[in-house]
């Protein structure tokens, strides 16, 4: 395989996440069933619809308030939701910059409009840069209106980013997402919890 590009997942690969922290934040708001809707690798209900671009943030807030049966503010919901994200280690950002000298570096994330321009954007500034400084192109699920591991989101990424699957390695912490990428012709590497993507790449002979 002639590798020209590396396509990265965000949460669990570049950005640290903590599902339980998020669940507890919602529980403190009075949302006792939060754990049923929030998963490590995928969401349900309004959370999933937001990631798929099927609802706007305003619709998401309204639907969630209805499910919760509570009058909580948009800001309270967003702060609880953003607690899923715990930051990006500087070393990962520096490794991305190094890899970008040799490969096209791209991002493909199941994410949502609430987090994207708030917690995610600020997390990339930890080393003095902006999100766009680390990637040659970015695709988000809410813009693509499709979620990994569906083939549609990988097709969208190829069209939007101008990359070819047979020249691209996809990295994700979800084995199901990696299998989805492989099914449409990408190379794929799973980044297990507790591992660093750059160690996984080096073990695969990609430096």
The pLDDT tens digits of the residues spanning 55-103 come to 999 999 999 999 999 899 999 999 999 999 999 999 999 999 999 999 9
CATH class of the domain comprising 19-82: mainly alpha
The CA distance from 9 to 117, in Å, is: 17
pLDDT of 101 = 97
Q: Which residues pair with 38 in a beta bridge?
A: 43
Averaged pLDDT, 20-37: 94
**pLDDT band per the 50, 70, 90 thresholds, residue 41:** confident
Cβ atoms of residues 42 and 110 within 8 Å: yes
Residue 39 has pLDDT above 90, yes or no: no
5-16+89-203 and 19-82: same fold?
Answer: no
In this structure, whether the domain defined by 5-16+89-203 belongs to CATH 3.30.830.10 is answered with no
Q: Which residue has the tokens 């998020």?
A: 22
pLDDT of 57 = 97
pLDDT of 110 = 96
Residue 5 has pLDDT above 90, yes or no: yes
Mean pLDDT of the chain: 96
**pLDDT band per the 50, 70, 90 thresholds, residue 142:** very high
Phi, psi angles (nearest 5°) of residue 44: -130, 165
**Could you tell me the residue ranges of all domains in the chain?**
5-16+89-203, 19-82
Averaged pLDDT, 28-48: 90
Give the residue among 47, 129, 54, 42 at the shortest CA–CA distance from 80: 47
pLDDT of 40 = 75
Q: Known catalytic residue: 173? A: no
Give just the sign of the alpha carbon dihedral 40, 169, 166, 112: positive
Cβ atoms within 10 Å of 34's Cβ, excluding its own: 23
Residue 1 has pLDDT above 90, yes or no: no
State the catalytic residue, choosing from 2, 9, 136, 199.
9
Would you give the distance in Å from CA 38 to the centre of its chain?
A: 14
pLDDT of 130 = 95
Residue 200 has pLDDT above 90, yes or no: yes
Across 112-149, b (16+ Cβ under 10 Å) vs e yields bbbbbeebbeebbeeeeeebeebbbbbbbbbebebbbb
What percent of the chain has a predicted confidence (pLDDT) above 70? 100
């Amino acid at each position: 395989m002639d590798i020209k590009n590396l396509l990265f997942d965000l949460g669990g690969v570049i950005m640290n996440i903590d599902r339980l922290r998020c669940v507890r934040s919602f529980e403190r708001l009075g949302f006792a069933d939060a754990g049923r809707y929030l998963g490590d690798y995928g969401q349900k209900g309004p959370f999933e619809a937001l990631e798929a671009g099927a609802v706007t943030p305003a619709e998401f807030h309204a639907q969630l308030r209805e499910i919760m049966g509570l009058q909580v503010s948009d800001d309270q919901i967003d702060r609880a939701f953003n607690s899923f994200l715990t930051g990006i280690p500087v070393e990962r950002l520096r490794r991305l910059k190094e890899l970008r000298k040799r490969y096209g570096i791209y991002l493909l994330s199941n994410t949502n409009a609430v987090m994207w321009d708030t917690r995610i954007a600020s997390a990339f500034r930890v080393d003095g840069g902006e999100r766009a400084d680390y990637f040659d192109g970015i695709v988000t699920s809410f813009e693509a209106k499709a979620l990994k591991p569906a083939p549609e989101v990988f097709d969208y990424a190829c069209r939007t980013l101008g990359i070819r699957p047979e020249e691209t390695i996809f990295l994700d912490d979800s084995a199901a997402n990696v299998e989805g990428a492989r099914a449409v012709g990408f190379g794929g590497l799973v980044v297990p919890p507790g591992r660093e993507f750059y160690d996984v790449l080096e073990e695969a002979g990609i430096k």
